[in-house]
Amino acid sequence: MSDTRRILVIGCLGQVGSELTDALRENYGTENVIGSDVRQPENAEGPFEIIDVLDIDRIREVVDKYTVTEIYNLAALLSANAEKNIEFAWKLNMDGLFNTLNLAREGKIKRLFWPSSIAVFGPTTPKDNTPQDSIADPNTVYGISKLAGERWCEYYFNKFNVDVRSIRYPGLIGYKTLPGGGTTDYAVDIFHQALKQKKYTSFLGENSTLPMMYMPDAIRATIQIMNEPAENIKVRSSYNIAGISFSPSEIAGAIKKHIPEFEISYAPDFRQAIADSWPKKIDDSRARHDWNWSHEYDLEGMVKNMLENLG
Ligand code: SER
């Protein structure tokens, strides 16, 4: 790609979008990264446009206005929220993807990033070291939309030569913004409550191990996969990437080393069934092989960094 990359982030006020937009601006210059979301931010720190991902004409207008070359499409309903509004979740997650895939197919943009999730896996998927290609039988609306989306990404690459790249994000943990409506949100909330109340009631059971990742690793992976030469991206559905796997009791233990009086209790709710259907740990050897992916943060490093930044 030429040096003049103009990037549009759709969903720039979300958990990933806010951190990704800052990182992209550091790398490529504030003026070359256009943030967009369905609501106006309190302080826009660079170019910003209101965009509803369901409105393809509006996306096209912004792409034309800034001569955008690539889009990061992060607009989605996460797993727990999607279960409460299944039709809208399907519409937003699928039509939003189609709009950006179709702009790439039209040649309006050269490259597209769209995140998938560990939620593409389901109850009969092997749970330990889940391979890149494994049984994918999601039983959540979110997981079904991500699996269908992966298939469409690969289809658009094969049929229309659309340069779309994707990662299956694990549960993401960061201190800058709160997640919105996922099953892994407890792993962010626990830090806020540990600092404020010295106690936390987890909505997942104590041994509910899930694949997780510290946000700086996820942002680095996202920027890295988009910078690779196209021929290195062999998987055009979505790549497994792994960071840390832990359970609520394990993260509580790691927090207790810094806040000895911290106590965790457990009151699993409807999100437990979602967590139970997902892998515990995924195998990311394809991403490590194809584009040299490797994570940096382990559980202790992540916990220390989170507490330092929130404290
Ligand atoms: N963190 C997401 C969720 O819990 C998984 O992709 O929905």
Query: What ligand 1 atom has the least distance to the C-alpha of 80?
Result: 7
Active site residues: 142
The confidence score (pLDDT) of residue 32 equals 98
Whose CA is closest to atom 6 on ligand 1? 117
34 strand-pairing partners: 8
Alpha carbon distance 56, 146 (integer Å): 20
CB of 183 within 6 A of ligand 1: the answer is yes
**Residue owning tokens 């909330």:** 189
Element (H, E) at 116: strand 116-117
First to last CA, the chain: 41
Query: What ligand 1 atom has the least distance to the C-alpha of 118?
Result: 6
CA-based angle 271:193:186, to the nearest 5?
20
CB of 79 within 6 A of ligand 1: the answer is yes
pLDDT in tens, 58-107: 999 999 999 999 999 999 999 999 999 999 999 999 999 999 999 999 99
Query: What ligand 1 atom has the least distance to the C-alpha of 179?
Result: 1
CB of 116 within 6 A of ligand 1: the answer is no
The confidence score (pLDDT) of residue 63 equals 98
Mean pLDDT of the chain: 97
CB of 32 within 6 A of ligand 1: the answer is no
The SS3 of residue 103 is: helix
Alpha carbon distance 6, 33 (integer Å): 6
Structural domains in the chain, sorted by start:
7-171+213-240 (3.40.50.720), 175-211+244-285+296-310 (3.90.25)
